Structure formats: C-alpha cells, structure tokens
Structure 1
Amino acid sequence: MEQYENEVQERWGDTEAYAQSQSRTSKYTHADFAAAKVDQEAATELFVYAFGNSISIHAPEAQRAVVAHREAISKWFYECSVEMQKNLALMYVQDPRFKKYYDGRVNGLAQYVHDAIMAQ
C-alpha cells in the first residue's frame, strides 16, 4: 500500500485535489471508507449494467453512471470536475492496474467506462 501512496504523492502531491483528498480522508473512520467503497461500487455497477446490456455510451443510462462516478469521487475525496474525470478515464485504459479492476468485472468494461466518460 505504501508504494501506491508514494506514487500518488509523486504524481499529484502538488495538486488541490490531492490536498483536498488528504484533508478529507485523514478524518475518515473505517466505516467512512467502507461507505465510500459502497458508493464507488454502485457507480461501477451502473457501468456494468449499461455495458452488459449493450447500451450506447451516449444513452441516459450510461451517462447516469458517469455522473454517479463523478459524484462519488466528489463526495468522498475531492471535487471532481468533468475535466478531471476525463483524465481519470485515460488512466483507466492506460494503467494496467485500473484496466484490470474494470476488466476484471467484465472484459472490455475499462474501455466502455473511458468512452462513456469521454462522451459527456
């Protein structure tokens, strides 16, 4: 876990989002982190449903998943703008760890999440 913390600090340590996330999460209990995970998983499940049902990335169902994803990040970690969310989407297909997370749910989901976020 420490290797990821170092990587995050190295990549984003001088950003407002990082400072905001650190400020928020430093006060979280285990229950808070569990609740954050529930919100994030719920957003992911919306993507799984849309992708699994071959719903267009432009359709309201897919775009609801995009909004839920952004809102979960903003609620628990930092204010996530559309631009920031699009940067995250790039990471979801470029970083093998994120790609594995999404594609581990359903093969091809990482690309779908990326494309849906980019389509907003």
Structure 2
Amino acid sequence: MQTQEFKEIFGGFDPAEYSAEAQARWGESDAYAQSQERTARYGKADWQTIRTEMDALSARYLAAKSAGHPPASAEAQAIAADHCAHLERWFYDAPPQLLRGLAQMWVADERFRANIDRADEGLAAYQSAAMLAWANMGAHE
C-alpha cells in the first residue's frame, strides 16, 4: 500500500517516521518479526478494517469509562479481551507480558497517551488499566 493511502486511513500518521525507533526498540523480538511479516501483506482494505476495529475499540473503552465502569469490571475486561484478539488477529501473538508492556507504554509514552486521550482526557490511563487487569487475570494464558 502506498504511504499516502496509509496516511489517509490513519489521519496523517506515517509509520515510516517511527520505523528506525521501532526497529531499535523491538527489532529482536518475535512480536516485531511477526508484525512485520503480517503487515507486509496488507492492502488498503485490510488497513481500513484495522482502523475501523481500532476506532470501535476506542469508542467502547470511552463508553465504559464514561459509564463509570472500573477498568477491572466485566464490561472493561470484555473490551480488553477483544483488544487482545484484535492485536493477535492483525499483528502478533500477545501473551500477558507483552500486553503489560504495551499497556504501560500507552501512558508512559507521551505520543501514545496524547493520541489516545484525544478522544477524552484520561482514556489512555483507563485503557491501560483495563488491559493490565486483563493481562494480570491470567485466564487467557
């Protein structure tokens, strides 16, 4: 897929800007290799589906947060389970240790936090807490 098409789907985001950083941070990991192999095959329709699913997950996290459901609630845990399934379907196997690191990155890295929090202040922290609870639950191991 062309860079311009990707940027259209993802609101101007260009992953090429971060490829060197991603390679340096995770290039030796199985998840990185798996993601690189999978995503290399994706066309525009695949990326549009991924974006639609991502937006739906974000909307569900926001609705759960807005309704006052704690991150460890059944409602939030169902979203985290679906989020994990999304990652595994499209990118890489997501064992609990990987999910913990990912969830922590959503709040520790300002770029991720700001992007997630565009929908609602504190959404990154809520999403992170929900995923950490899911990863720590152990039922999916």
TM above 0.5: yes
RMSD between aligned residues: 1.1
TM-score, structure 1 length as denominator?
0.94
In the alignment, the residues of structure 1 paired with residue 86 and residue 54 of structure 2 have an alpha-carbon distance, to the nearest angstrom, of 6
* Cα offsets for 1:27-57 (capped at 9, x unmatched): 1101111111111222221111111111111
TM-score, structure 2 length as denominator?
0.81
* SS in structure 1 of the partner of residue 72 of structure 2: coil
User: How much has 1:114 moved relative to structure 2?
Assistant: 1.2
- Other-structure match for 2:65: 51
In the alignment, the residues of structure 1 paired with residue 85 and residue 126 of structure 2 have an alpha-carbon distance, to the nearest angstrom, of 19
**Which of 27, 32, 54 is equivalent to 1:18?**
32
* SS in structure 1 of the partner of residue 35 of structure 2: helix
- Other-structure match for 1:67: 81
In the alignment, the residues of structure 1 paired with residue 72 and residue 118 of structure 2 have an alpha-carbon distance, to the nearest angstrom, of 23
Tell me, yes or no, if structure 1 residue 118 matches structure 2 residue 136: no
The letter of the residue matching 1:29 is G
Instruction: Identify unmatched segments of 5+ residues in structure 1.
Output: none
Contact 1:89 1:113 in 2 (8 A): yes
Contact 1:20 1:78 in 2 (8 A): yes
In the alignment, the residues of structure 2 paired with residue 71 and residue 10 of structure 1 have an alpha-carbon distance, to the nearest angstrom, of 26
Greater Rg over alpha carbons, structure:
2
Instruction: Identify unmatched segments of 5+ residues in structure 2.
Output: 1-13, 135-141
**Which of 86, 90, 95 is equivalent to 2:109?**
95
In the alignment, the residues of structure 1 paired with residue 81 and residue 65 of structure 2 have an alpha-carbon distance, to the nearest angstrom, of 16
